[in-house]
Chain A
Amino acid sequence: MTTNALFSIPESSGHDMVTIAFEGRNLTVPAGISVAAALLSNGVSDFRSSVVGQAPRAPYCMMGACFECLVEINEFPARQSCLISVQDGMRVRRQLGASAINIKDEL
C-alpha cells in the first residue's frame, strides 16, 4: 500500500540524487540515504508482511535491530533496508511473508 508519505525530505535540493525502482515505480531520492528513508519519504507505508498473520509491517527501529524493514533488493531477499544506502538503479520490492532466510538453517 502506498499512501501519503509519513515523512518528507525538504532539503533535498542541491543534493546529488539517485533513482531507485520500487516495485516498478521510479523514485528519485538524495544519494547517501538509507533505502528505508527513501521508501518512507515516498509514500511506502508497509515494507513487508508478517510471517504468521501476513499483517503489514514497516520500520520500527531504523538501526538494524528489529528486522521490520525487510525488503527484497536486486532480487536478494530479506535485506535490512535501514542499513543499506540507496544506489542508482537499485530494484526494491516488498518482502512478502517468510523469506527464504532462516537464521538457524542457513549455516
Chain B
Amino acid sequence: MTVEIADLVIVGSGPTGMAAACEARSLGLSVLMLDEQAAVGGQIYRGIEVASLPRTNILGDDYAAGRELAANFRVSGATHLGGAVVWNLSSDGTVDYVINGKSRKVTGRFVLIATGAMERPFPIDGWTLPGVMGAGAAQILLKSAGAIPTGSVVLAGCGPLLYLLAWQYFRAGIEIRAFVDTTSPSAYLRATRHIGGALRGWRDLVKGLKLRTALRQSGAAWYTGCSNFSVQGNGRAEGLAFSHRGCAVRIPASLVLLHQGVVPNTQLSWSIGAAHRWSPEQLCWEPVTDAWGRIGEAVIYVAGDSRAIVGARASAIQGRLTALEIGKQLGVASDIERRLAVLQRELRQHLHIRSFLDVLYRPLDEFRIPGRDDVIVCRCEEVTAGQIREYVELGCLGPNQTKAFGRCGMGLCQGRFCGLTVTEIISSARGVGPADIGYYRVRPPIKPVLLSELME
C-alpha cells in the first residue's frame, strides 16, 4: 500500500477546512483535504459550487458567502479528494480512508480535524418514523438537490437553523403548516442577561430579528413555548402532537422537521483517545486543546465547530489561525505574530453573540433526557430511555457499561445519535454530573469498512 505524505492533511471541507487550506497554501505547505462528500462546502455551504442562482437567492447571503471561499480554495493548489471516507486516524498523523472502494493511507506532518457539527439528537416519541428528520437534513436536501417538501410540513424545536430554514422555505414559496417553537418566555428573560455581548455582535442580532419578523409576516401558524412532543403515525409520520399553554395540540403533517441546535462532531477526536470536557453551556463534549486547537502533544489539531460550536465565519477564522500556527511549527511562516493578532481580533467579533444564543436556545431538559420510558434513545439497536434507567438501577455507572447490559451504542452509528442522550440520562438517574459520567469509548474504524476495500 503506497503511503502519501503531506505537510497538512485536513479532514472536512467546510469553512474551517477550506480556510485552513488556503492559509496553509499561502505559506507554501502541501495540503491534502479529505471529505466524505463529492464536492467541497461541508454542510453549511453544501452544493455551493453548483447551486443555481435562484437556489442561492432562496438560501440567502450567508450561504452565498461560501462561494468566494470555495473559489479561493479551488485556486489555492490544495489537493481535494471528495468521496473519501476517513475510518482511522493515528496520533502520529496517519490517516486511513476509503475512496472508490479501496482503502488508502496518507501521513500528515500535521492533521487538522475540521469535521464540523451535527444536529443534536432530538429523542422524542416517534422520532424514528420515516417522515421525521432533522431540519438541517432538510436544509441539506435544499442546498444539494434543490429538493423541497411537497406535503404538509411542520418545523419544531429551537435554534437559529430552524428559523433560517423556515425563512428559506418561505422564500421558496413553501407553506409551513406550523412552526412549533420550544423557546419559552423565561428563556428570553434569561437571555437578556447576555444582551451586552449580543449588542456587541449587533450584526448577528439584527439578522436574527429580521428573520423572525419575516416569519411573523409569512402567516405560518406559530406556537411558542411548546413542550411534550410526540410524532404520531403508523409506519410513517402523520402528525406532531404537543402541549401549548396547557392545551394539547395536534397538527397533521407528513414531514416533521426537528431541530434543537448543533453539537461538535467529535467522533475522530474521541477515536484517538483525546480528553474531552463537558460544556455546561452548550451541553455537549468538546475536545481539550491548547489555544490553537492542538490535541495534547500530538500532531493533530481541531478547529471550527468540531472543537466547539462557533458558527461558519468564526470557524473559517479558526481554520486560518490553526494553519498559521502549524506554519509556525514548521518554521515557514514569516510575520506570523501580526497575522495571528489580526485574526484573533476578528474572531472575537464573531463570538460576542454566542452566550446569548446558548442561553436563549438552550434545549429543554425533556428533549435531551426523555421522561417517557418507551422513547427510543439508541436508534440503531432500538434501546429505550427506560432500559437505560433500568441498567442504572442494576449498577450501570456510565455509557461504556451500557454495552455490558445491551447493545446500546453498538450499532453502525457508533453512538453518534445516542451518546449525548445516554450520558445525560445516566447523569440524571444517578445524580452525578455529565463530566463524571463520561462518554463511550470510540474505537476505529469509525466508519464501516468492507474487506474488499482493505484488499490491494
Q: Which residues of A contact B (CB under 8 A)?
A: 1, 3-12, 30, 32-34, 37-38, 40-41, 45-47, 50-53, 55-68, 70, 76, 78, 82-85, 101, 103-104, 106-107
Question: Number of B residues contacting the other chain (C-beta, 8 Å)?
Answer: 54
Establish whether residues A33 and B144, one from each chain, have CB atoms under 8 Å apart when the complex forms.
yes
Establish whether residues B132 and A7, one from each chain, have CB atoms under 8 Å apart when the complex forms.
no
Pick the contact of A66: B55, B130, B131, B417 (CB < 8 A).
B417
Pick the contact of A5: B136, B150, B265 (CB < 8 A).
B150
Establish whether residues B414 and A103, one from each chain, have CB atoms under 8 Å apart when the complex forms.
yes
Distance, CA A70 to CA B154, complexed state (A): 25
Establish whether residues B133 and A58, one from each chain, have CB atoms under 8 Å apart when the complex forms.
yes
Q: Which of A40, A61, A68 has the most CB of B within 10 A?
A: A61
B227 close to chain A: CB less than 8 A: no
Against A, the Cβ 8 Å flags (1 = close, 0 = not) of B125-155 are 0001111111011101100111111110000
Establish whether residues B380 and A51, one from each chain, have CB atoms under 8 Å apart when the complex forms.
yes
Q: Tell whether A37 pairs with B131 under 8 Å between CB atoms, given A6-B254, A65-B417.
A: no
Establish whether residues B130 and A46, one from each chain, have CB atoms under 8 Å apart when the complex forms.
yes
B residues near A4, Cβ cutoff 8 Å: 150-151, 254
A residues near B119, Cβ cutoff 8 Å: 61
B residues near A37, Cβ cutoff 8 Å: 141, 144-145, 147
Could you give 9 example pairs across A and B, Cβ below 8 Å?
A6-B255, A52-B381, A57-B128, A58-B130, A59-B133, A63-B137, A78-B448, A106-B448, A107-B445
B residues near A51, Cβ cutoff 8 Å: 380-382, 411
Establish whether residues B380 and A61, one from each chain, have CB atoms under 8 Å apart when the complex forms.
no
Pick the contact of A46: B151, B236, B379 (CB < 8 A).
B236
Against A, the Cβ 8 Å flags (1 = close, 0 = not) of B358-383 are 00000000000000000000011110
B235 close to chain A: CB less than 8 A: yes
B341 close to chain A: CB less than 8 A: no
Establish whether residues B36 and A64, one from each chain, have CB atoms under 8 Å apart when the complex forms.
yes
Distance, CA A76 to CA B309, complexed state (A): 36
B residues near A68, Cβ cutoff 8 Å: 379
Pick the contact of B54: A11, A55, A106 (CB < 8 A).
A11
A residues near B134, Cβ cutoff 8 Å: 60-62
A residues near B129, Cβ cutoff 8 Å: 56
Known: A6-B151, A9-B146, A107-B454. 15 other contacts (CB 8 A): A3-B236, A4-B254, A12-B146, A34-B144, A37-B145, A46-B236, A56-B129, A61-B136, A63-B136, A65-B416, A66-B379, A83-B37, A83-B85, A103-B412, A106-B450
**Distance from B387 Cβ to chain A, minimum over Cβ atoms (Å):** 12
Pick the contact of A63: B140, B445, B448, B454 (CB < 8 A).
B140
Establish whether residues A107 and B449, one from each chain, have CB atoms under 8 Å apart when the complex forms.
yes
B50 close to chain A: CB less than 8 A: yes
**Distance from A14 Cβ to chain B, minimum over Cβ atoms (Å):** 9
B21 close to chain A: CB less than 8 A: no
Distance, CA A33 to CA B138, complexed state (A): 14
B38 close to chain A: CB less than 8 A: yes
Q: Tell whether A83 pairs with B36 under 8 Å between CB atoms, given A46-B236, A59-B137.
A: yes
Establish whether residues B145 and A9, one from each chain, have CB atoms under 8 Å apart when the complex forms.
yes
Establish whether residues A8 and B140, one from each chain, have CB atoms under 8 Å apart when the complex forms.
no
B291 close to chain A: CB less than 8 A: no
Q: Tell whether A57 pairs with B411 under 8 Å between CB atoms, given A37-B141, A52-B381, A65-B118.
A: no
**Distance from A16 Cβ to chain B, minimum over Cβ atoms (Å):** 11
Distance, CA A1 to CA B145, complexed state (A): 23
Distance, CA A63 to CA B41, complexed state (A): 12
**Distance from B416 Cβ to chain A, minimum over Cβ atoms (Å):** 5
Which single residue of chain B is at the shortest CB-CB distance from A50?
Answer: B382
Establish whether residues B445 and A67, one from each chain, have CB atoms under 8 Å apart when the complex forms.
no
Distance, CA A76 to CA B265, complexed state (A): 27
Against A, the Cβ 8 Å flags (1 = close, 0 = not) of B159-186 are 0000000000000000000000000000
Q: Tell whether A57 pairs with B412 under 8 Å between CB atoms, given A7-B148, A34-B145.
A: no
Pick the contact of B146: A6, A10, A78 (CB < 8 A).
A10
B residues near A11, Cβ cutoff 8 Å: 52, 54-55, 146
Distance, CA A52 to CA B410, complexed state (A): 13
Against A, the Cβ 8 Å flags (1 = close, 0 = not) of B207-223 are 00000000000000000
Establish whether residues B413 and A65, one from each chain, have CB atoms under 8 Å apart when the complex forms.
yes
Establish whether residues A106 and B449, one from each chain, have CB atoms under 8 Å apart when the complex forms.
yes
B451 close to chain A: CB less than 8 A: yes
